[in-house]
A = this chain, B = another copy of it.
Amino acid sequence: MTALYGAIEAGGTKFVCMVGAGPEDVRAETRFPTTSPERTLRQAIEFLRAEQDRQGPLAAVGIASFGPVDLRPDSPTYGYITSTPKAGWSNVSMAGAAAAALGVPVGFDTDVNAAALAEQRWGAGRGLHSFVYMTIGTGIGGGGLLDGRVLHGLVHPEMGHMRLPHDVAADPFAGICPFHGDCLEGLASGPAMNARWRQPAEDLPDDHPAWPLEAGYLALAVSNLVCTLSPQRIVIGGGVMSKAFLFPMIRQKVADLLNNYVRAPEIVDDIDDFIVAPGLGERAGAFGGFALAADALQASPPERDAV
């Protein structure tokens, strides 16, 4: 019998919840705005419980969460959102709450690591062992796998907060990151574009100077990721990337920046296949919940047979 999983993509703006056996077999799906932690988590759990009554027992649940989150298995706050600027959501138990309410193994990771895992399993990263997923939207984040292992380390990456060359003569915009001003997210997220150009990014015409500037910052980020993580492919998703003409611009600028120094054929000969759009679209995060759930089930100690 196919195992059924619950998947929760816990975003700062909305939650997406699914029940199914995986991306090819989604049996139920809902989305609702992120309000207070109590109310939003209750909604998620009620959805999963109701579907469980309808579809049969869930084998595990996976939560792809906004962050920063605590991913250290031995930490007393494992599975918590730790210190987020989002009001009310600091120090909130996510994984523990779901495990207590549902009594099944719960997988937990950042939304971007989960999306990376989903893309690697079912989307644009299939067959790759080292792989980065970035999202350029309300914020900028990145996750990935190296040598088959999801990127954790001390905490988890915060790729949106790397510092990049910022030519203040050409772009005097100071950046909007409350922590860092002109880090990548401060310069190139959707809200940063809106603030710089005083209009929503999606309304800017295709020939607006905003776009080469945006592609330039994203290319600098990609080239730094090549220099630090050496991924086999970089997938870039998120609302801003719905302007598909950004991809060739970014690829050209990355090639210029690396200047044939990293001579891997994947980059030098085939950059169209090195920097790509997501294979799973905007459902990568929620699908990542299925991947986390399946991994949590596999990692959980086997149940003893009933005597």
Cβ B261 vs Cβ A180 within 8 A: yes
Indicate whether A154 reaches chain B with its CB closer than 8 angstroms: yes
Given A146-B146, A163-B220, A223-B163, check contact A151 B261 (CB 8 Å): no
The main secondary structure of chain A at its interface with chain B is: loop
A163 in complex: contacting residue of B164, B179, B260, CB < 8 Å: B164
- Cβ of A149 under 8 Å from chain B: yes
Which residues from 256 to 271 on chain A have a C-beta closer than 8 Å to any C-beta of chain B?
257, 259-264, 266-267
Chain B residues contacting A229 (CB-CB under 8 Å) are: 151, 153, 157, 228-229
Report how many residues on chain A are interfacial, defined by Cβ distance under 8 Å: 46
The answer to whether the Cβ of A162 comes within 8 Å of any Cβ in the partner chain is yes
Bound complex: CA of A223 vs CA of B159, how far in Å? 11
Q: Is the CB of B152 within 8 A of A147?
A: yes
Interface string of A78-93 (1 = CB under 8 A from B): 0000110000000000
Q: Are B165 and A230 in contact (CB under 8 A)?
A: no
> Contact: B147 with A230, CB < 8 Å?
no
Q: Among the listed B159, B227, B231, which residue makes an inter-chain contact with A159, where contact means beta carbons less than 8 Å apart?
A: B227
A31 within 8 A of B: no
Say yes or no: is A272 at the interface (Cβ < 8 Å to chain B): no
Q: Which of A160-189 contact B (CB under 8 A)?
A: 160-166, 179-180
Q: Does A65 contact B (CB under 8 A)?
A: no
A257 to chain B, nearest CB (A): 7
With a CB–CB cut-off of 8 A, which chain B residues contact A120? Answer: none
Contacts of A266 in B (CB 8 A): 154
Q: A130-B153, A149-B147, A153-B146 are in contact. Are A161 and B261 (CB under 8 A)?
A: yes
- Chain B residues lying within 8 Å of A146, measured Cβ to Cβ, are 146-147, 149, 151, 153
* Contacts known (A180-B259, A180-B261, A259-B179); A231 close to B154, Cβ less than 8 A: yes
Q: Which parts of A187-241 form the interface with B (CB within 8 Å)?
A: 220, 223-232
In the assembled complex, A68 has its CB within 8 A of some CB on chain B? yes
Interface string of A124-164 (1 = CB under 8 A from B): 00000010000000000010001101011111111111111
Q: List 14 A-B contacts (CB under 8 A).
A: A82-B263, A146-B149, A146-B151, A146-B153, A147-B147, A147-B153, A151-B229, A153-B229, A154-B226, A155-B262, A157-B229, A158-B230, A163-B223, A180-B261
Q: 9 tightest A-B contacts by CB?
A: A153-B230, A130-B153, A179-B261, A162-B227, A147-B149, A228-B228, A162-B224, A154-B232, A158-B227
